[in-house]
A and B are shown apart, each in its own frame.
Chain A
Amino acid sequence: MATTAAPTAAAAVTTAIGKRGGKPGGLVAASEARAGLLFVLPYLVFFVFLQLGALGFAFWVSLHHYDLLALDNPFVGLNNYLKLPGNHDFLIALRNTTEYAVVVVVIQTIAALFFAILLDAKIKGRNFFRSAWYTPSIASSAVISMIFLWVYHPTGLLNGALGLIGIHTNEAWLHDTRFALPALMGLNIWTTAPTFMLMFLAGLQDIPKEVYEAAQVDGAGFFKTIFQITLPLLRPVIFLVVALGIIGAFQVFDQVYIMTEGGPLKSTLSVAYLIYQDLFKDTGTVGIACAMAVVLGIVIFALTLLSRRIIDTKIEY
């Protein structure tokens, strides 16, 4: 969830820097810019050294045959990158991660939107439902993963529930190549959808009442209102949710690490987990791991830009 904090703070930084270079002249503006900069300074220092710095270092490492313990790490140029298309594990991981991201982002965005619209309506016990639905997002993903280990256990909650509706099985969900990845998808949707529901709720409350009233006067029904008023006006929030969803899904690691270790038969091997394996569990593959990390970063960046192009067009009231 650290990913959610970063873009917001980064946006603050851009705003502050933008102001400084932007508006010409004016003593007030200048001192405002200085104050702004002062406020973001602690984060800026953190960002430059520990994030931007680490990013640059990772790129530098990716150009070397690198080992954590070696005294000499020879420069190999783009060799580590050129090896990636022939790296069987990387291709599997990339395919798994893409599949995971597509399913998770689509379903969690729709689910979050659905529940947000539902809970935005004036129904009885609305506050109770809002808190109840948000509960899964409070616990850390490690804790949720531990819980779901038992949910998906052959004698666990899921099979118990299935038994109640007449489906008796002792399927070991996480040990089956067909179900392990979907099981992780389900867990992730269940955990993150509520957070995005909150964002949608906030977005819904930002839409001016007058627009709805006008629609009502014009005779728009419930569905027409949703598709022609609510969704178009929610576009900035939808973009935010999709972008954060893509970033989170492509970085999936903790669930894989705790629940499946990439198995069975690499069916849940994610790029982030493969990077971890090459960093720590293998020898002399740190450069390759960093090359994968850079590629993953580029993929995420490109997809985020693309989704912005598609979703976040200008709103005209």
Chain B
Amino acid sequence: MRPKRLGAVLGVVAPLLLAACGGTASSGSGATSESDVTGTLRAANWGGNPTEERLVKKYEADFMAKYPKIKVTQEEIPSNFEDKIKTEMSANSEPDAMYVSTKLMNFAAPAGRLLDLGPLMDKWGINKSDYVSTLMTPWQYNGKQYALPKDFGDLVLFYNKTMFQQAGLQPPTTWDEVKSDAKKLTTGGVKGLSLPADSARWNALLYAYGGKVLSSDGKSAVFNDSKGVASATFYTGFQTQDQTSALPDTLGASWPGDALGKQKAAMVIEGGWLIPYMHDTYPTVQYGSVKLPPGPAKQASLLFTNGWGCSARTKYPDACALFVKYMTGHDVQLQVLQSGFALPSRNDLANDPAITSNPDVKNLWDSAKFAIPWTFGPHEDKVESAMSDALTAIFLGKKSVKQALDDAAADANTALQQ
């Protein structure tokens, strides 16, 4: 196949040229001491915001200061991170080290494109138990560890303190209280809640009701069973039955956090990203948080995490493992915590004042114990959007809850069985 060969040639020549330019000593796989490890690493991260970019640069500079024989070049990918890495992997020109999202994990690990970190963790003294245990599972496939968590976020219930005080209410501790509080707090243009048509919120309730998104083998959608219907009925019922919730758009807000900031909604289900946002955009709004209340089956929240991993093709696996160790290590994770963008992945920071002295951060941190990683395998994009579309259809009154979930499950199954 001629065109394919041409593509392959183009794909191969580029990295060869790069490699030729950067060619240095071998990875030193015989090295037994960290200071003997040499290597040149290309490390890719996505562009979050200028602050995060600056921080990653700083961490990498600190790493090179600590390991002078290892050189790291930052490759920032402004958007469509997974698309770029996927095409680079197919052309065998991916970076040595990279951010690993659950999406990236789900297509790259089964294809054997990520480095199994297990043996290197033993070699370089990286302990699994140092990390928050729920954060480790998204990076495991067939019993191997393909990345280590670099930070995480999860969901809690944020509420407007002033509104609760004026209504003489205590923060809710059960979903029934959320429901009755929402009724009392809905007045005029203000809604008790703002729940979006987003599966990344409803799924927290689905899990609390004992439901699941996919069957245990991951081959079929089960979110339309009785637990799914009950939880979706409850979630959408705030808007469709009680009229105590409205979509952010309807409230003139761009997202639920914006509705909380604009004081158009008294409660929202969001994560740690809300804290710096409120600080910067709505500094005068008084808000607090509680953990998501337990549902009929259990207490649940959703866990969103990203990690650092290595390419299976890297010439410097030892250097890359040390890099991952450093980026997920105590020093960097402490700075992650202090920067306020996300929560750190390590247990040894549990008693840090930045967590214990801030009740909202403490709630987020404690929720990680029962939060469930939000990830659904190689077709997760279609599974997630099928679920979100179901919520939209229910909110718009186009379908009943059961019908919407059945249709969404059929769509998801089409994707899963392809």
Q: Could you list which residues of chain A lie within 8 angstroms of chain B, going by C-beta atoms?
A: 49, 53-54, 56-57, 60, 67-71, 87-89, 154-155, 170, 172, 175, 177, 263-266, 277, 280-285, 288
Known: A69-B107, A89-B411, A282-B415. A56 touches B392 (CB 8 A): no
Q: Is the CB of B111 within 8 A of A53?
A: no
Q: What range describes how many residues of B lie at the interface?
A: 35 or more
Q: Is the CB of A53 within 8 A of B107?
A: no
Q: Is the CB of B389 within 8 A of A283?
A: no
Q: Is the CB of B396 within 8 A of A177?
A: yes
**C-alpha spacing A70/B89, complex, angstroms:** 10
Residues of A within 8 Å of B107, CB to CB, are: 69, 283
Give 7 closest A-B pairs by Cβ, nearest first.
A283-B378, A69-B111, A53-B3, A57-B3, A68-B90, A281-B381, A280-B83
**C-alpha spacing A206/B402, complex, angstroms:** 63
Q: Is the CB of B249 within 8 A of A175?
A: yes
**C-alpha spacing A218/B378, complex, angstroms:** 72
10 contacts across the A-B interface (CB closer than 8 A)? A57-B4, A57-B7, A60-B1, A68-B86, A88-B411, A154-B249, A263-B392, A265-B398, A285-B418, A288-B418
Known: A57-B4, A67-B111. A282 touches B381 (CB 8 A): yes
Residues of A within 8 Å of B340, CB to CB, are: none
Q: Which residues of chain B (75-117) have a CB below 8 Å from chain A?
A: 80, 82-83, 86-87, 89-90, 106-108, 111-113
Residues of A within 8 Å of B393, CB to CB, are: 265
B85 to chain A minimum Cβ distance, whole angstroms, is: 10
Q: Is the CB of A69 within 8 A of B2?
A: no
Q: Is the CB of B108 within 8 A of A277?
A: no
**C-alpha spacing A89/B252, complex, angstroms:** 31
Q: Is the CB of A70 within 8 A of B392?
A: no
Known: A57-B1, A69-B108, A282-B415. A265 touches B392 (CB 8 A): yes
Residues of B within 8 Å of A54, CB to CB, are: 3
Q: Does B291 contact A (CB under 8 A)?
A: no
Residues of B within 8 Å of A175, CB to CB, are: 249
Q: Is the CB of A283 within 8 A of B7?
A: no
The secondary-structure label for the interface of chain B is helix
Q: Could you list which residues of chain B lie within 8 angstroms of chain A, going by C-beta atoms?
A: 1-4, 6-7, 80, 82-83, 86-87, 89-90, 106-108, 111-113, 249, 252, 378-379, 381-382, 389, 392-393, 396, 398, 410-411, 414-415, 418
Residues of B within 8 Å of A87, CB to CB, are: 414
Residues of A within 8 Å of B80, CB to CB, are: 280
Residues of A within 8 Å of B1, CB to CB, are: 57, 60
**C-alpha spacing A265/B388, complex, angstroms:** 9
Q: A57-B7, A60-B1, A265-B396 are in contact. List 15 more A-B contacts (CB 8 A).
A: A49-B3, A53-B3, A54-B3, A60-B4, A69-B108, A71-B112, A89-B414, A155-B252, A263-B389, A265-B392, A266-B389, A280-B80, A281-B382, A283-B378, A284-B378
**C-alpha spacing A163/B366, complex, angstroms:** 49
Q: Is the CB of B414 within 8 A of A88?
A: yes
Known: A69-B111, A277-B381. A284 touches B418 (CB 8 A): yes
**C-alpha spacing A222/B326, complex, angstroms:** 80
**C-alpha spacing A283/B379, complex, angstroms:** 6
**C-alpha spacing A265/B392, complex, angstroms:** 7
The secondary-structure label for the interface of chain A is loop
| Beta-carbon nearest neighbor of B87 in chain A | A68
| Beta-carbon nearest neighbor of B89 in chain A | A69
Known: A281-B381, A284-B378, A285-B418. A53 touches B113 (CB 8 A): no
| Beta-carbon nearest neighbor of B113 in chain A | A69
Residues of A within 8 Å of B249, CB to CB, are: 154, 172, 175
Residues of B within 8 Å of A70, CB to CB, are: 111
**C-alpha spacing A44/B80, complex, angstroms:** 33
**C-alpha spacing A283/B82, complex, angstroms:** 12
Residues of B within 8 Å of A280, CB to CB, are: 80, 82-83, 86
| Beta-carbon nearest neighbor of B106 in chain A | A283
A313 to chain B minimum Cβ distance, whole angstroms, is: 38
Q: Is the CB of A170 within 8 A of B252?
A: yes
Q: Is the CB of A53 within 8 A of B389?
A: no
A252 to chain B minimum Cβ distance, whole angstroms, is: 19
**C-alpha spacing A170/B249, complex, angstroms:** 9
Residues of A within 8 Å of B2, CB to CB, are: 53
**C-alpha spacing A87/B284, complex, angstroms:** 51
Residues of B within 8 Å of A284, CB to CB, are: 378, 418
B108 to chain A minimum Cβ distance, whole angstroms, is: 7
**C-alpha spacing A155/B258, complex, angstroms:** 15
| Beta-carbon nearest neighbor of A57 in chain B | B3
B383 to chain A minimum Cβ distance, whole angstroms, is: 10
Residues of A within 8 Å of B381, CB to CB, are: 277, 281-282
Q: B6 touches which one: A49, A71, A283 (CB < 8 A)? A: A49
Q: Is the CB of A69 within 8 A of B415?
A: no
| Beta-carbon nearest neighbor of B389 in chain A | A265
B1 to chain A minimum Cβ distance, whole angstroms, is: 6
Residues of B within 8 Å of A285, CB to CB, are: 418
| Beta-carbon nearest neighbor of A155 in chain B | B252
**C-alpha spacing A265/B89, complex, angstroms:** 32
**C-alpha spacing A115/B366, complex, angstroms:** 65
Q: Is the CB of A68 within 8 A of B392?
A: no
**C-alpha spacing A265/B399, complex, angstroms:** 12
| Beta-carbon nearest neighbor of A49 in chain B | B6
**C-alpha spacing A172/B396, complex, angstroms:** 13
Residues of A within 8 Å of B108, CB to CB, are: 69
A69 to chain B minimum Cβ distance, whole angstroms, is: 4
Known: A67-B111, A68-B90. A56 touches B3 (CB 8 A): yes
Residues of B within 8 Å of A282, CB to CB, are: 378-379, 381-382, 415, 418
B305 to chain A minimum Cβ distance, whole angstroms, is: 20
Residues of A within 8 Å of B3, CB to CB, are: 49, 53-54, 56-57, 60
**C-alpha spacing A264/B389, complex, angstroms:** 8
A160 to chain B minimum Cβ distance, whole angstroms, is: 14
Residues of A within 8 Å of B382, CB to CB, are: 281-282
**C-alpha spacing A71/B106, complex, angstroms:** 16
Q: Is the CB of A69 within 8 A of B396?
A: no
| Beta-carbon nearest neighbor of B249 in chain A | A172
**C-alpha spacing A53/B111, complex, angstroms:** 27
